[in-house]
Amino acid sequence: MTKYAIKRLLLVIPMVLGVTVIVFCIINAIPGDPGRRMLGPTAPQEQVDLLNAQLGYTLPFFQRLWNYLVDVVTLNFGNSYQDGASVMHKILLNFPYTLKLAVLQTVAYSVIGITLGVYSAVKQYSIGDNIIRVISIALAAFPGFWVYVIAMLVFSLYLGWLPPSGADSWQCYVMPVGCAAILSASSLQRLTRTTMLEAIRQDYVRTARAKGCSEATVIWRHAFMNAMLPILNQVGINFGYLLGGTVIAESVFGMPGLGTVIINAVNSKDVPLVMACTIFLATIFCVLVVLLDVLSAAADPRVRAKLVK
């Protein structure tokens, strides 16, 4: 088991390096140069060329890529083009907002999705099950950006119940967390319903009922515990997506976080900041996936048996 975990963790290195190369190519394919964006459209071309040379932007592409990969290996992510501050300082300053938002969204949609999924499975083909399934399918078709904008118009502009932007109080998190929870809960509800339907038809569930166990014990202790593994994997993967997917929520609701930092960095073609944010999030996501694989192998005897073979 330890050998398997080490092998999976070592795979993070080539994955992160691959992401680094791809993102570096994409960000350098964007028209414009950092010197012009930093000095403005009215600055003399001589000053722009001098600044680009100081930033190393005039070097050949592959030389810049190689220099950056060497810096990444030595954990030197450079300074921001915008203000000269350390990019890691900016990341550590704004990441807590993104992490808090992602955790709240994950907890909210997990509670909603799992509860509704279990209810739909237990009450299969009932009126409640049909209503939940129709709403779940409809919500899956709604784009997240549209839901965020509608929520802001209704609850901030028309009703005035919640602040439209910021992260100063708990009210600022209600709309981004609520919208993301409703959208993500639809997919989790369908997965929970499917796995629970498969679990409650197994022999051990009928045996538990025959032994006189209460229905709540049969559903939550026997059926749900055996159907929980794919649900936990889905929640973990979605949490990794939310760490990078809060870009839309942070942009719409004007919240500080890595999403806002990345958008501002892309607009100003701040290559060190964009690259550092991307590598940071990619590393977290890859490590999270590896941890989920290890936990799945530890929790499922069938997976452990395959590893032994």
Return the amino acid letter for 147. V
Q: Which domain holds residue 111?
A: 96-256
Residue 221 CB contacts under 8 Å (≥ 6 apart), including other chains = 213
Q: pLDDT value at position 264?
A: 79
188 inside domain = yes
Q: 263 exposed, middle or buried (CB, 10 Å; 0-12, 13-18, 19+)?
A: middle
- Count of C-beta atoms within a 10 Å radius of residue 154: 13
pTM, 2 dp: 0.78
Per-residue pLDDT tens for 11-52? Answer: 778 888 888 888 888 877 777 777 777 777 777 888 878 877
Of how many residues is the chain composed? 309
Residues 77/92, Cβ–Cβ less than 8 Å: no
Residue 206 CB contacts under 8 Å (≥ 6 apart), including other chains = none
End-to-end CA distance of the chain: 12
Q: pLDDT value at position 55?
A: 75
Cα dist from 162 to 151, 169, 184, 215, whole Å: 10, 10, 22, 41
CATH number at residue 128: 1.10.3720.10
208 inside domain = yes
75 inside domain = no
Residue 28 CB contacts under 8 Å (≥ 6 apart), including other chains = 61, 64, 271
137 inside domain = yes
Q: pLDDT value at position 1?
A: 62
Distance in angstroms (rounded) separating the CA atoms of residues 57 and 189: 49
Distance in angstroms (rounded) separating the CA atoms of residues 255 and 178: 15
Distance in angstroms (rounded) separating the CA atoms of residues 229 and 235: 10
1 inside domain = no
Domains identified in the chain, total number: 1
Q: pLDDT value at position 299?
A: 63
189 inside domain = yes
Q: 219 exposed, middle or buried (CB, 10 Å; 0-12, 13-18, 19+)?
A: buried
194 inside domain = yes
3-state SS, one letter per residue, for the chain: CHHHHHHHHHCHHHHHHHHHHHHHHHHHHCCCCHHHHHHCCCCCHHHHHHHHHHCCCCCCHHHHHHHHHHHHHCCCCCECCCCCCEHHHHHHHHHHHHHHHHHHHHHHHHHHHHHHHHHHHHCCCCHHHHHHHHHHHHHHCCCHHHHHHHHHHHHHHHCCCCCCCCCCCHHHHHHHHHHHHHHHHHHHHHHHHHHHHHHCCCHHHHHHHHCCCCHHHHHHHHHHHHHHHHHHHHHHHHHHHHHHHHHHHHHHCCCCCHHHHHHHHHHCCCHHHHHHHHHHHHHHHHHHHHHHHHHHHHHCHHHHHHHHC
Show pLDDT as tens, one digit a residue, over the chain (309 residues). 677 667 777 777 888 888 888 888 887 777 777 777 777 777 788 887 887 787 777 788 888 888 888 888 887 887 887 777 788 888 888 888 888 888 888 898 888 888 988 888 888 888 888 888 888 888 777 777 778 888 888 888 888 788 877 777 777 888 888 888 888 888 888 888 888 888 888 888 888 888 888 878 888 887 888 778 888 888 888 887 777 767 777 777 777 878 778 887 877 777 788 888 888 888 888 888 878 777 776 666 666 555 555
Distance in angstroms (rounded) separating the CA atoms of residues 246 and 253: 10
12 inside domain = no
